[in-house]
Structure 1
């Protein structure tokens, strides 16, 4: 039972849970993603030197019981600054420090005393404590005691005889309900459940369980009691682990026969709010139920159930959220995280089992290494607090034993710093990608992208993330000057707290599409890792699907040269504990192609790329993979209850880059190496499970010619996955494009530039820092470049003129500016309007919309007109027919980088 006890008038209670009691709900915390209303920021709290099993609260005081002997301040190591606290301590809910209430729960020599259950009477006057002990502050008791809260003394007249440990308590105005290991109370038979008057007299209530009780929760209307534990029968009737019984007699009123919960699962905790009851389960062995179940109060029927694995020990409701303590390690059955490192604190809506964005964490700790064991919500000083006790010895990775607490605000935790990547795969564009940040109490965050050190973002967006789903977000920066280099940084904000800026991601703007990457994308890749990162855990996805990867184990970044000529770097894996996995889970593909480049000299084999059902560690389901045997041969395999493979006859561990593509569809399985089909298999099916694409290694147990290692030692590059079957022609084209010569990009500055002015027809402006264009009265600008010859084997693919408007307030223009060849003679220092050269009628390119000052603009030019002038001098003029002047920086400007540029791209 985890119902809230009495609170001061200044306190606030669970909204909804205490509706109708005249107490207002606390305002929602800021910077939290609703309905979460507790921050994940752990507060300074005193610690114990042992396990906290039980909690209750009253009027801003939190009572903790368990198996411990001392408490110490936050930050103090075990054995330092300790105060005696024998299995019990009372704390100020607001400060986390002990109060002056000291009780010692003890037992005779040869036994270990423990407090396992605490509950406060509805009037807030009495604390009931259950467990295994024989005295409290020297007053003789027998595993159950009543404590006068005002004086912090045991009630001497309350001493019913309990034959064994009391593990659960709930208190109404006139009754103390309890469950545990006992079989007699006050000398009378009571098997595992019993009720007493608040004065300690035994009542007739007798559910008659056949195994120990662990949880009791009385309905608020006084009509029923829900009980939980290890039992299989109540009153001789089949009701496993959970039952609803009559308040007066304990007779069974609603049964949950074995099968509702598996026989291997027991109930550890029950709590409630105004509309429902919530049950925590723990299981042992296979086929267990370890999660949480919600029941409607009207009929005690199930409202929802989650199926996370990792025994749930404790529950607490705050506002409309159910908080739980467990060691959840696998929630894949309900669409959340696969089997991985344990998460000990979770949150769900009382109306929906979906996990919410609240993930503070502890470690497993002492005892059974389960972590949290108990929760309690308390209020003090106008704030609400969620207290957690248990076996843990760390909270959020820092030392903190037995106790911790959280509040409803303020939220002070920053989101994690984004990891960003930038790449230019198309002319004039840079795609900036970053992995969504984590915030333990904010799943919805706002991201801002900053370019070239500016304090003003060029892009703002929002995105959701959870610890097991950190999707890639991206922004495509367009209209950039070919050949220019730009840097980007990204921040994440929860609305109140903002992360530091990401490390700088830099890209040089391409003049055209990377031919290999363009083919991969045009052929439909929905995952494309190019491995250009310089560190971190984020592997950017270049495909439109934004299916980023997560690096594990710190592989060797930026291995050069990569597999594709003139392109990206590769990633290096050590063959033992390094890999990359897709952040997003995927259903079984009916048809697919998986492609990668690799280079190795290993004789231990390993998986190059494949599909598995987990992200961390080794998968228990794994197929749709390409692996290398110890002798360097490649195997493509899928599983259908038996292994189905295609194996190469040749070995490929010769230290050279090789290209492998595996496909499966209606025409069966095929594997290509270096553009050529090396084998096929008619199998059209594969194993059906939700999984993750992984490169660098995973399980290979049971597969033919199983290598010494499931993990690949070598370099991998350009991994892509397609939701369709690539044709032989497409595969061959990819292989061919990878070795095509890289484009050559040349950026030219003008050897001469100037302008002429019809208003001053004899004036020369050859030394001016500015250039001007207007139709009437006329300004014309002239530029002369020395064009290089085309590199051997390449032709001119593109030409882009870049100009920048000056800082003059009138520098922008609403008119269209044309770029035309100059056919007459001129010199920078000699030309004036009266001696201006003749111009061609051919328009090489036009510029419109150049309305902003101090801004770079680009004009793509017709390469067919420039191609014949390569290796010689070429002059351009900028003209207009309108009346709105445009002012540009010239090559003589103070910042020469702002002057005109001509960017030429040569390629095959």
Structure 2
């Protein structure tokens, strides 16, 4: 960034009449200390690259290589000629009446740097050009802001490109490619006074200068660029010099910044200065450095890879423009997609929750290249210029901007999962939502369609770190079905839509296999019971996963008895990886079930340092060879493996476990110990768990494919080495009897109305129940037979109230057997069927609209009817009607339905 130092004064430029744009209101809540929303505002666009931005009193000046500005996508107005320069209103994004053309007789003219004088009266421009509005200049020009005209008397001669400028009350400092100024030797850095006269300041460098800044006290000048020496001193890419003489006061010897890396930008604040760096080749430094102004020593270094082009310090936050694609070296996202706009505290390297994005765009494919912060009122604007052509996925070429408020973007909709493995609790889990300018979000959990949440939870998330959030609902009844939905809200109250409904039936007894895995201390447990991608819930802690390329879900029969399902992988590009970066230290166990006939092998489960791309570090894994053998391996300076002699690609479910503890490594298959050794060490690095794929290069018996083709179920990881007894128990419990749930939707449903005794309501989307004047609802179900070796342990009737006003009822409703014959297309109040004596169950408390309620039913009565057709009626003695959806209604969520739980006698 280019700063000016000294006095300031107020000055306003006129906005062109009729120009399109929009004003932004005052600031709203964001996650501190971020000052700007991630919601991009309508801004006029260029048809080329923006290299430079500067601001003065609600006007933003734009320099670059372009010939036209045009209205934003969907905006009003017509394109205007703009030869490498434009002036735009900071609050509307529309052009002002200031028009300048930067041209040259031979070659391509460009404006590379813009800076405003401390008194806000003069705009200085640098680049490669020979005239401004026809007035001769030589790559540097001074513009009178009030009149928007070049100062004809300011004509210092710079014979090559000027890439950066910094300005004080008396001096203009320049950096670039030049070797002389005004015919005198000034290699890459120089200074002139406000009249254009060359000053004695000399800081000769051997390679181009790209950045220049003056310290706030005006005593020092900070130099950045490609150079390896300044005034003969060994200083690569960065140097501090005396502001009057140019003498080096602080050098940074070659190696402090790698020789294949340069400084592209420098910015300062009251206590420090910050560099944006770019490298080429291996071992580069592409990130940012913070240094103290007190001693010019390093405060921190951000080693993310991805060519930083610009930095801007504002209110304790450093905003940066880059194409950062790998921040694994500082514990953040691994090598993958590019992030073009980031924010971090000026005190540390950790990224903040501000994540708008552009694309790479034109030219070099770098994306954003320049910043400016404007606005004299309460609303401030962060302007971004560069070679991008989109912002936040929508068309926006060359320019975009973000205001200090209001924050209008809602978080993404949560993807919820509900599971119960014991009779006493339901665990509701969801992947944390993403909000581009709020890293702390509030979640509300709603049960059975109620309007009031049963739980409010807060959680943090970043684009590359979206940990699972969970809630344990202990107010549950065994055998009852519950539905849950979740919303996410930011600090300003922007709220997502409700998640899709997650439904679960609480078992009447603990699931044998799952409850034992959890009890044995798993800290990752993926059951693969999801109905949608990409979220894979973790049933142990909060170590959730992501499905890649939409594997086949809900595969049955699964590896274990009960309601669980498996995932099917195609062996080409599908896998699951953990959504949380972590370390694996000391003992561990990896466990999974698989079923396959593949002859290409593949990884079953393992640890690696990347996500969707092949890991560079990878071990602690189980994989299959082409012949169906299984291998368990760790790396401790070399590959250490255990393998089977038998093949397991026979199309049957198999259980495989690898452990490493103080006694060494052990491999188990189908509950039996296969082999072991005394190897106790493994490779230490931060990474992610993978199921179904990851790198296997260099490992013994490497299969043809890294990707596994087949089904996988019940993948678990433990921070300890399971014992042989525990492994054997897991294998045997997979076939232990477990509750199974059968949900049966009504095949026929209608109601009778005493007030219209001859009317048939078979086609109605709603059903009614009341005592007087009477409504009675009739339901028919086809009941399944009990699975072999099981009995009916619980039965519930579930209904959902409609959305009409007063749909709920303060009265209770009785569920009674129907003994007479009926058809839904002919039933009326006059010919309604006879009802049996006694009550099967009672529905109570169904007071809210658009909510699911259920009644426990007599299992003995229903057991006798299993395997056949069975009818029930809903009746009441009260006067408050209950209105519920019929099975014909789209909003019914599968109701009316019977939920039948079968289990061991």
TM over 0.5: yes
Question: 1:253 corresponds to which residue?
Answer: 249
Q: How far has the Cα of 1:852 moved from its partner?
A: 12
Give the superposition deviation at 1:247: 1.1
Q: Structure 1, residues 743-787: CA drift from partner, whole Å, max 9, x if none?
A: 367999xxxxxxxxxxxxxxxxxx9989xxxxxxxxxxxxxxxxx
Cα deviation for residue 799 of structure 1 reads 11
Distance in 1 between residues matched to 2:900 and 2:396, nearest whole Å:
60
- Residue 804 of structure 2 corresponds to none
> What is the aligned partner in structure 1 of residue 536 from structure 2?
539
| Equivalence for 2:721 | 725
Which of these residues, 25, 36, 39, is aligned with residue 37 of structure 2? 39
Deviations 1:401-421 (A, max 9, x none): 111110100001010111111
The answer to whether residue 596 in structure 2 is matched with residue 596 in structure 1 is: no
Q: CA deviation at 1:296?
A: 2.1
Structure 2 partner of 1:622: 618
| 2:160 alignment partner, one of 164, 169, 188 | 164
- Residue 331, structure 1, aligned to residue 327, structure 2: yes
**For residue 835 of structure 1, what is the aligned residue in structure 2?**
none
Q: How does 1:331-480 map to 2 (within 5 A)?
A: 331-380=327-376, 382-480=378-476
> Secondary structure at the residue paired with 1:90?
strand
TM-score of the superposed pair, with normalisation by structure 1: 0.82
Distance 2:742 2:415 in 1: 31
Which residue does 1:761 correspond to in 2? none
* One of 559, 577, 585 as aligned partner of 2:581: 585
SS at match of 1:734: helix
Deviations 1:697-722 (A, max 9, x none): 01111112222211111211111001
Moved more, 623-632 or 193-202: 623-632
User: Which residue, 162, 183, 189 being the options, matches 2:179?
Assistant: 183
What CA deviation, in whole Å up to 9, does each residue of 1:263-321 have, x standing for no partner? 22211111111222111111222222221122222222222222211111101122221
Distance in 1, matches of 2:57 and 2:340, equals 28
Assess if the C-alpha contact under 8 Å between 1:516 and 1:737 holds in 2.
yes
Alpha-carbon contact 1:592-1:723 (below 8 Å) kept: yes
Could you tell me how far 1:593 is from its partner in structure 2? 0.7
User: Does 2:80 correspond to 1:83?
Assistant: yes
Superposition deviation, residue 588 in structure 1:
2.8
Aligned pair 1:113/2:86, yes or no?
Answer: no
CA shift for structure 1 position 793: 4.3
Matched position secondary structure for 2:727:
helix
SS at 2:733 equivalent? helix
Q: Secondary structure at the match of 2:472?
A: strand
- Which of 260, 266, 269 is the aligned partner of 1:264? 260
CA contact (8 A) 1:550 1:582 kept: yes
d(CA) in 2 for partners of 1:97, 1:790: 72
Residue 200 to residue 789, structure 1, CA distance change in 2 (3 Å): closer
Which of the numbers 51, 56, 61 marks the counterpart of 2:54?
56
Partner of 2:91, secondary structure, is coil
Closer/same/farther in 2, CA of residues 681 and 236 from structure 1, 3 Å limit: same
Partners of 2:659 and 2:11 in 1: how far apart?
67
Give the Cα–Cα distance (whole angstroms) in 1 for the partners of residues 787 and 627 of structure 2. Answer: 42
Moved more, 736-745 or 445-454: 736-745
Partner-residue secondary structure (3-state), 1:707: coil
Higher radius of gyration, 1 or 2: 1
1:526, 1:723 within 8 Å by CA — same for their partners in 2?
A: yes
Written as runs of structure 1 = structure 2, the 5 A alignment for 1:125-144 is 125-144=121-140
| Equivalent-residue separation in structure 2 for 1:446 and 1:116 (angstroms) | 44
Which SS does the other structure have where 1:346 is aligned?
strand
- Equivalences for residues 557-576 of structure 1 within 5 A: 557-576=553-572
| 1:16 aligned residue | none
Paired residue secondary structure (1:521): helix
Where 1:286 maps in the other structure, the secondary structure is coil
Cα distance in structure 2, aligned partners of 1:830 and 1:425: 37
CA RMSD of aligned residues (A): 3.6
Report deviation, 1:459: 0.9
1:502 paired to 2:499: yes
Aligned-partner Cα distance in 1 for 2:732–2:78: 71
SS of 1:516 mapped into structure 2: helix
Task: Rate the CA distance shift 1:39–1:346 in 2: closer, same or farther, 3 A.
Answer: same
Q: Report how far residue 382 of structure 1 moved.
A: 3.9
> Aligned residues, how many?
803
Q: Deviations over 1:335-363 (max 9, x none)?
A: 21111111010111122221111000011
- Distance between the aligned counterparts of 1:728 and 1:193, measured in 2? 72
SS at match of 2:197: coil
**How far apart in 2 are the matches of 1:75 and 1:185?**
43
Quote the offset at 1:333 in angstroms.
Answer: 1.6
Q: Tell whether the 8 Å contact from 2:809 to 2:882 is kept in structure 1 after alignment.
A: no
Whether 1:234 aligns to 2:230 is yes
Of the structure 1 ranges 54-63 and 281-290, higher mean CA displacement relative to structure 2 is found in 281-290
Per-residue CA deviations over 1:798-833 (Å, capped at 9, x if unaligned) read 99999xxxx99999xxxxxxxxxxxxxxxx9999xx
Give TM-score scaled by structure 2 length: 0.82
Is the contact made by 2:480 and 2:854 (CA closer than 8 Å) also made in structure 1? no
Q: 1:70 aligns with which of 68, 71, 75?
A: 68
Q: In the TM superposition, what is the alpha-carbon distance from 1:163 to its structure 2 partner?
A: 2.0
Q: What is the Cα deviation at residue 790 of structure 1?
A: 9.7
Residue 530 and residue 151 in structure 1: after superposition, are their counterparts in 2 closer, same or farther (change >3 A)?
same
Change beyond 3 A, Cα 1:521–1:798: farther
- Cross-structure match for 1:522: 519
Inter-CA distance 8–91: structure 2 relative to 1 (3 Å threshold): farther
Q: Measure how far apart 1:256 and its partner are.
A: 1.7
Judge conservation of contact 2:448–2:853 (CA < 8 Å) in 1: no
Q: Partner residue of 1:317?
A: 313
Provide the C-alpha distance between the structure 1 equivalents of 2:679 and 2:174, rounded to a whole number of angstroms: 61
Distance 1:156 1:9, change over 3 A: closer
Q: 1:44 to 1:679 in 2, by over 3 A?
A: same
Contact 2:480-2:796 within 8 A present in 1 as well: no
The 8 Å contact of residues 483 and 747 in structure 1, kept in 2 or not, is answered as: no
1:101 matched to which residue of 2? 98
CA distance in structure 1 between the partners assigned to 2:263 and 2:789 by the alignment: 76
Shift of 1:478: 2.0
The structural deviation recorded for 1:483 is: 2.2
Task: Return 5+ residue gaps in structure 1 as ranges.
Answer: 12-25, 749-766, 771-787, 812-827, 832-849, 874-888
| Selected match of 2:631 from 630, 635, 646 | 635
Q: 1:860 to 1:528 in 2, by over 3 A?
A: farther
Distance (Å, rounded) in 1 between the aligned partners of 2:30 and 2:655: 47
Of the structure 1 ranges 167-176 and 292-301, higher mean CA displacement relative to structure 2 is found in 292-301
| Higher mean displacement: 734-743 or 458-467 | 734-743
Match of 1:626, SS state, is strand
Task: Identify if the C-alpha distance between structure 1 residues 744 and 141 changes in structure 2 by more than 3 Å, giving closer, same or farther.
Answer: closer
SS at 2:509 equivalent: coil
- Shift in alpha-carbon separation, 1:852–1:556, aligned structure 2, 3 A: closer
Preserved contact between residue 44 and residue 94 of structure 2 (Cα < 8 Å): yes
Report matched runs for 1:652-667 at 5 Å: 652-667=648-663
SS in 1 for 2:456: strand
Q: Give the SS at the match of 2:350.
A: strand
- Checking the alignment, whether the CA contact within 8 Å between 2:657 and 2:727 is kept in structure 1 is yes
SS in 2 for 1:517: helix
Summarize deviations over 1:567-623 as a string: whole Å, max 9, x none.
311112221221111111221331111111112222221111110001121111111
Q: Compared with structure 1, are the counterparts of its residues 362 and 638 closer, same or farther at alpha carbon in structure 2 (3 Å cutoff)? A: same
Tell me if structure 1 keeps the 8 A contact 2:287–2:305: yes
1:135-164 deviation per Cα after TM superposition (whole angstroms, max 9, x unaligned): 111111111111111121111111111121
